Structure 1
Amino acid sequence: MSSTAPRRVGLIGWGAIGRVVGGALAAGEIPGAELVCVVDNRPLGDSVPAPQRTLEQALESCDLIVEAAGQGVVREWGTTILASGTDLLVASTGALTDERLAKELLNAGPGRVYFTGGAVGGLDLLQAARAMGPLDDVRLTTTKLPSTLEQPWMDEELLGRMRSATAPVEVMAGTARDVPVKFPKSTNVAASVALAVGDSNAVRVRVVADPAARHTSHVVEASGAHGSYRFEVRHLPDTANPATSQVVPYAVLRSLAALAGRTGQIL
């Protein structure tokens, strides 16, 4: 473990992601990082392994905030956190499809902003390929259970097709700029791919509802002058929150380990 002082971590959100991340931190599973407090707008009582604090209180005692509560938190508090000098690790990357917000976060400081890849792999390879030249065609197809994709903006016709489906139904097609806004809890992967590619408008996204989908599926296809790439990941949904894949909190923990200075891992 590094001889430097441990990262003092404040965790925003005590849901499907936050409980796993907070439990691992409290158990000392991330060398170089300690859980100082939990921020949540609900009274959590004794269910959390660290004191519950307001965000303002967390900024007084933490040098790293982990967002595990949704895109709204990133929009409302991201720049405030960074302006305080506190670093921010974002799990809800879908918020970054808002170009204005993304620029604000990247230009804010003195705190630094970091992003986790969440439920998709291959982003490092896409970044490397992009460094050689533009990717001409980037596509993402996300498939989930219909119930996890229902949204308030959907009309009765679409909801009816999803609820009565016996085969896959395309729910929406658009760019990585459009889709995460419509599915704020279900399509952070689209934003993560867009961040790797460097252009939200260049990533074409299909969202598919499949009543037989035991796993959540993400298929990324990209091609350019230097090669073609295809990645497919299939995750079991979280039992407490089926809109989130079980692997997501562990991706957050891996990012935390890197920020805390753990050595001997692939970056």
Structure 2
Amino acid sequence: MSSSTVRKVGVVGWGAIGRVVGTALAEGRIAGAELVCIVDNRPLGEAAPARQVPFEEALELCDLIVEAAGQGVVREWGERILDSGTDLLVASTGALTDDELGGRLLAAGPGRVYFTGGAVGGLDLLQAARSMGPLDEVRLTTTKLPATLEQPWMDEELLTRMRNATGPVEIMSGTARDVPVKFPKSTNVAASVALAVGDLDTVRVQVVADPAADRTRHVVEASGPHGAYRFEVAHRPDPGNPATSQVVPHAVLRSLGALAGRTGQIL
């Protein structure tokens, strides 16, 4: 694609992430990319900055789809998007911890699949370290408000413990293969770290509920034969959707800028 080609973008999901991304595209803030349509199963109202269309029509109109609606969209539509020749930018990276789905997406095409790091940094350094040899240990600790972590599978004892907590409470620990399945809207960071490391089972994940967590906190610790690394981020939750950090849509926009050919930035 030449630098003069404008990416025609469709946004799937008009929530906390999609609305920020779509509005920025509609206002021309991403050079080389324009918003042509929105896909959502809810009425958008007259204020929406682009046409609301069915998924099938979006594939005809766009050469790049931004997923901002959850892991289910990647599972249901990912292959069809790529098979149509349309590229896919995934925000809900937790879907890619499904080995079977990940394999099918990599085999699909001619469209290409990309993912954004979202609410965590240091992924480029982890990828560089991994290129020198496997990392021995990778740990991620995610701390959020209890209400943002409640899930249908939780029993009454666990829910009561979370709701009555006066301090940090560990909710679950496991690998980056296990945890994103249990918290599909809250632990995409685990999947992003695992994708950077290249091994779902190497990344150990601890999910903590803390009633005092006015910020969502992610701590990544990794070590290997060539060094040791530690990254910590603390984000303001999105007011409209506290399960999502405010920075996530801006990480998506940065990825869009790179895909649209913006120059002069660190990749």
What's the TM-score, normalizing by structure 1? 0.99
Q: SS where residue 35 of structure 1 aligns? A: strand
Report how many residues are paired: 266
Following superposition of structure 1 onto structure 2, how do residues 1-267 of structure 1 map, counting pairs within 5 Å? 3-267=3-267
Q: Could you tell me the percent identity over the aligned residues?
A: 80
1:47, distance to aligned residue in structure 2 (A): 2.9
Deviation of 1:103 after TM superposition, in Å, equals 0.8
TM superposition shift of 1:45: 2.3
Q: Offset of 1:187 from its aligned partner?
A: 0.1
2:251 aligned partner, one-letter code: A
Amino acid at match of 1:247: V
CA offset digits 1:98-157 (Å, max 9, x no partner): 000011111110000000000000000000000001100000000000000000000000
Q: CA deviation at 1:238?
A: 0.2
Q: How far apart are the structure 2 equivalents of 1:56 and 1:91?
A: 20
Paired with 2:147 and 2:3, the residues of 1 have a C-alpha distance of 48
> Which amino acid is 2:249 matched to?
P
Letter of the 2:59 partner, please give it.
L
1:15-43 Cα shifts (integer Å, max 9, x gaps): 00001000000000000000000000111
Distance 1:252 1:18 in 2: 9
Q: Please tell me the residue identity of whatever aligns with 2:6.
A: P
Using the alignment, how far apart are the partners of 1:22 and 1:47 within structure 2?
12
The amino acid of 1:66's aligned partner reads: V
| Aligned 8 A contact 2:30 2:257 in 1 | yes
Counterpart CA distance in 2 for 1:63 and 1:129 is 33
Give, in angstroms, the shift of residue 3 of structure 1.
5.0
Deviates more, 1:253-262 or 1:3-12: 3-12
Distance in 2 of aligned mates of 1:112 and 1:133: 27
5+ long unaligned stretches in structure 2: none
**Quick one: which amino acid aligns to residue 111 of structure 2?**
G
One-letter amino acid of the counterpart of residue 115, structure 1: F
- Alpha-carbon distance between aligned partners in 2 of 1:118 and 1:191, rounded to the nearest angstrom: 10
CA distance in structure 1 between the aligned counterparts of 2:122 and 2:204, rounded to whole angstroms: 17
Question: 2: distance between equivalents of 1:181 and 1:31?
Answer: 35
Instruction: Tell me which amino acid in the other structure corresponds to 2:142.
Output: T
